[in-house]
Chains A and B, each alone.
Chain A
Amino acid sequence: MAFYISMKEINELVQIQKERQLATQELSEQLGIDISFSDEEVAKFAQEEILKKVNNSIKEEVEAWMKSVLS
């Protein structure tokens, strides 16, 4: 059994959250109120996404292993 998540994938997930922060910053300027994501929120959201990806990868790996053992 092997589990692997690459730095490229992690960087992509972080980048998505940074893009969203930029989008909310632009939006805040248009709206006149600051509803943009803080740096802490960006880090938190990225961590949640990474965790979700890790959980899914482990689940898939365990399911594949269980199928191979029980088949």
Chain B
Amino acid sequence: MDEVSIIVELLTGTDAGQSSSRWSRARDALSLDGTIVTPTVIDVRTLQPNKGSRYDMSNSGGGATILVFEDSQNITYPTIHYDIRNETYSFTLHLRVIHDERANNNLNYGRDRLRDLYAILKKVIEDNRKGFTASDGSRFNQLFLGSRTESNDRGKKLYGYKVSLEVKRFGLSIPQ
């Protein structure tokens, strides 16, 4: 599984032995509004047909999306014989929330949802900061959230955060 797909699985998947997703469990642990359902997490390169259909915002991701972009990858060979590899990946996650008719005269609707979305994202990442193993066995050893900047679009009534994420893999052996 490629690295962006692992991040998508981390945010949308379910831990073994659990009945609810990591997202739902993080939301419940933070005692947040139950309407913050798992957002539509999108690997921008995806060609999945079900992501191409026109969807109902009220039940698909609650009008919230998280776009995942890979920014960079860096490899180092830290041993004297160069037979071990460490990998560092940087990602940018764009959280986008629409302030739509569901706001029902609540001027803070979009802003509050974005805040909750970020809080849940932060908890999911921090809960897995010491490593995450995907369903196919692919593993990251370290996940750290980085800087967060606002990116709002008043014209489209879009609230957004741009969040950086750094993940690392350590000690990958190189076959001789």
Residues of A that sit less than 8 Å from B by CB = 20, 23-24, 27, 30-35, 37-38, 40-41, 44-45, 48
Contacts and interface: CB of A to CB of B under 8 A. Distances in A.
Interface in B91-150: 94, 96, 98, 149
A45 B162 contact: yes
A45 B151 contact: yes
Contacts of A45: 151, 162
Given A38-B153, A44-B151, A33 B44 contact: no
Interface of B: 40, 42, 44, 51-55, 57, 63, 65, 67, 69, 94, 96, 98, 149, 151, 153, 155-156, 158, 162
Contact of B65 (A35, A38, A41): A35
Given A41-B153, A45-B151, A31 B54 contact: yes
A15 to B, nearest CB: 14
Contacts of B151: 37, 41, 44-45
A31 B55 contact: yes
A34 B42 CA distance: 14
A31 B40 CA distance: 10
Given A41-B151, A45-B151, A34 B52 contact: no
17 contacts: A20-B44, A23-B44, A24-B44, A27-B42, A27-B67, A30-B54, A31-B51, A31-B55, A31-B65, A32-B54, A34-B156, A35-B98, A35-B158, A38-B153, A38-B155, A40-B153, A45-B151
